Amino acid sequence: MFIQQLYTPCLSEAAYYIESEGEAAVIDPLRDVDSYLALAESRGASIKYIFETHFHADFISGHLDLSKATGAPIVFGPDTVTRYPIVVAKDGERFRVGGLSIEVLHTPGHTIESSCYLLRDEKDAPYAIFTGDTLFVGDVGRPDLSSGNLSKEELAGMLFDSLQQKILPLPDQVIVYPAHGPGSACGKQLGPETQSTVGQQKQANYALQAADRDSFIRQVTTGLDTPPQYFPINARINKEGYHALETILEKGLRKISPDALAQRLQRGDAIVLDTRPSALFTSGFVPGAISIGLDGRFAEWAGSLLSFDQPLFLVTEPGKEEESVVRLARVGFDKIEGCLDGGFAAWLAAGKPTDMIIDVEADELAMDLPHDPHLMVLDVRKPAEYGEGHITGALNLPLGDLNDPASMANLEDQHNLYLHCAGGYRSIIAASLLKRQGIHNLRNVSGGWKAIKEQQGIPIEKEASLLN
């Protein structure tokens, strides 16, 4: 028996490779499937099955491309309807992989079709369970993302039944392999580990401590953040199908000259996405470009903030073009029209106009606060982060809300905006969005909240009403 978790930190996503006697199965693959093919080839195995736990909302699965490359069937659990060929497994049905078997456990709740896969060893004993978004380490899947006309309370009730009837009766030593780890928006308080055991979760998972069904429903339906805007888009794509990744790469990696890009941008219907680190972006960028650096939760923020209907042109560091396209494709972007040939250096060399963002240190903010009546601190962290501590009088405008015109109502032309987040990644994204909307009187506070709270002379308070 061989099991390998293939974890992608920027998406907090875990796929799994299972192998026995030269046969392999892959569970919840990402869209770029080369790593699974390479692993199977290096071990002299053939991929026999591709299992999907549900229609993922936070990334595009690689099931179609992997099936095309290997001939392996795609297996979903009961109540699954797609526009492409799949095996719809029955609850309790088993699939042989070498000397092992994988048993389908239908576990509706996160979604209607959600299923877990129980791996039984060579002696038919339960060994591990691949729980998808049904059970995480320290949490359970949120019940408010999809499944037709059912309310989140109805789905939460189904989730309670699934956990009680299908997972908690398993032996304590059974390993729990979830589809996500910390940072995922598919739950609300995932723990730091990416695997556990049934016994450990019985003891430590808050959602499994509920006294009864009603208590469970209340616990898992309260305190949920608004899901990112791209979640329903990704779920639909995973259900209906998508273009092959190689097609998106072919178009997305086309080299666009500075002159051609400048002419294209005059039409006003395209987005320039700059994937360089924020330190490079602030010193100079194509006017109107949006900064989302590869060095953070790139795909998640791209999916949350960018339009899926507008053409995308990329500005990257040299050699980062393919990575940028692949990571965008992971969350469903397929209108990537090309990359600036030579990057921002070529744009500069061509004498094209540029823009920049002024960085200031926390001590400069401390000096300006008492003396500038038009100074406004814009805190782009999440409400819970803001509630834990913020600059007195700061306006909380979470990054995810910056594309909502109503959220901009409190910003006026005379304001001198000082933006910050926790460490600097999100505030640069926010600054680029504000500049794209014509707001240029702004500064980014270097080091964000980490630097601010260590600086003397900046008044700080908490907001208890925002804390769960």
Query: What is the model's pLDDT at position 145?
Result: 85
Report the candidate in 375, 366, 453 with the shortest Cα–Cα distance to residue 414. 375
Closest CA to 299 of 274, 269, 333, 335: 333
**How buried is 276 (Cβ within 10 angstroms: 0-12 exposed, 13-18 middle, 19+ buried)?**
buried
Q: What domains can be seen in the chain, in order of their start residue?
A: 2-232 (3.60.15.10), 244-349 (3.40.250.10), 358-466 (3.40.250.10)
Q: Rounded to 5, what percent of the chain is helix, strand, coil?
A: 30, 25, 45
The token duo for 217 is 């429903």
3-state helix/strand/coil string of 421-452: CCCCHHHHHHHHHHHHCCCCCEEEECCHHHHH
Three-state SS at 461: strand
Look up residue 346 and give its amino acid.
Answer: A
How many angstroms separate the first and last alpha carbons of the chain? Answer: 43
pTM of the complete model:
0.93
Question: Is-contact 329 60, C-beta < 8 A?
Answer: yes
CB-based contacts of 279, cutoff 8 Å, min separation 6 = none
Q: How many residues does the chain have?
A: 468
- Closest among 71, 73, 6 to 36, alpha carbons compared: 6
Sort 414 into a burial class: Cβ within 10 Å, 0-12 / 13-18 / 19+. exposed
Query: What are residue 96's DSSP bridge partners?
Result: 101
Q: How far is CA 112 from the centre of its chain?
A: 21
Q: What sign does the dihedral 413-415-421-424 (CA atoms) show?
A: positive
- Identify the pLDDT of residue 45: 98
Q: Are 52 and 64 in contact (CB under 8 A)?
A: no
Tens of pLDDT, residue by residue, the chain (468 residues):
999 999 999 899 999 999 999 999 999 999 999 999 999 999 999 999 999 999 999 999 999 999 999 999 999 999 999 999 999 999 999 999 999 999 999 999 999 999 999 999 999 999 999 999 999 999 999 999 866 788 999 999 999 999 999 999 999 999 999 999 998 988 888 999 999 999 999 999 999 999 899 999 999 999 888 888 899 999 999 999 999 999 999 999 999 999 999 999 999 999 999 999 999 999 999 999 999 999 999 999 999 999 999 999 999 999 999 999 999 999 999 999 999 999 999 999 999 999 999 999 999 999 999 988 899 999 999 999 999 999 999 999 999 998 776 666 677 777 899 999 999 999 999 999 999 999 999 999 999 999 999 998 899 999 877 665
pLDDT confidence of residue 302: 97
Secondary structure of residue 50 in the 3-state scheme: strand
